[in-house]
Amino acid sequence: HARKNNKLPDETCDTLVLLVGFSIEPLLQAAYAYEPTKVFLVLNQRYGQKPGKNWGKMVARLIIKLPEPPETVEQVVIQAGPQQVFQALLDQVRESEGVIIDITGAKKNMVAGAFLYAALANVPVSYVDFADDAYDPERGKPYGYGCDIGALDNPYEKFALRDWERVRQLYHRYKFRDARRLLVGEDGKTSNTVLATMREYLPNSE
């Protein structure tokens, strides 16, 4: 099993959201890797000459042929844009548990909306990456054995963006003591605080 040699992630999920582009293989790999109960396809209105609805039906037929297919495959067709993707995810998966959003192969304007939603909702974002030497230039796609599937760091957590916003709010409310506590901690030491994060990524911020 590929999961044992680090080719597949350790995580599984209940709902896997796939942003659908023209590349089908990464979608199938993610659907196989995360073993979801439900797959939710987010589609553009058109794929070349094919309507998004028809493209989604084709992708769904392939997904249900996987060795351990999901119980359901649903889809939504939207105009590809950050706001539309964000709203679609808000409407469709906000109440769902165990969600992973895979952004591999989608248009950048779709990825932007999905990444923003995932960061705000603290939902894992997955990406199918591959080694440089595992790419077939003639077919324009990576070899399956060279693909590595995994979650990306949440920027709101990684860079403490939520905490910075909280510091700003406290400052404008004149709650300076609370803002300082969030910045440097109770004992004045900066480990695991907003200021520690800033010093880690901005070494000249002293």
Alpha-carbon distance of 200 to 193, in angstroms, equals 11
Alpha-carbon distance of 107 to 99, in angstroms, equals 21
Neighbours of 86 (CB within 10 A): 19
Asked if pLDDT for residue 181 goes beyond 70, the answer is: no
**SS3 of 148, please?**
strand
Query: Mean pLDDT in the chain?
Result: 77
pLDDT at 206: 47
Angle among Cα 32, 118, 203 to the nearest 5 degrees reads 115
pLDDT at 5: 44
Lowest mean pLDDT of 56-60, 122-126, 148-152, name the range: 148-152
Alpha-carbon distance of 53 to 102, in angstroms, equals 19
Asked if pLDDT for residue 160 goes beyond 70, the answer is: no
93, two tokens? 């998966």
Share of the chain above pLDDT 70, in %: 62
Share of the chain above pLDDT 90, in %: 31
Report which residue type is found at 98.
G
Which is more confidently placed, 3 or 70? 70
Contact 80, 109 (CB under 8 A): yes
Contact 49, 14 (CB under 8 A): no
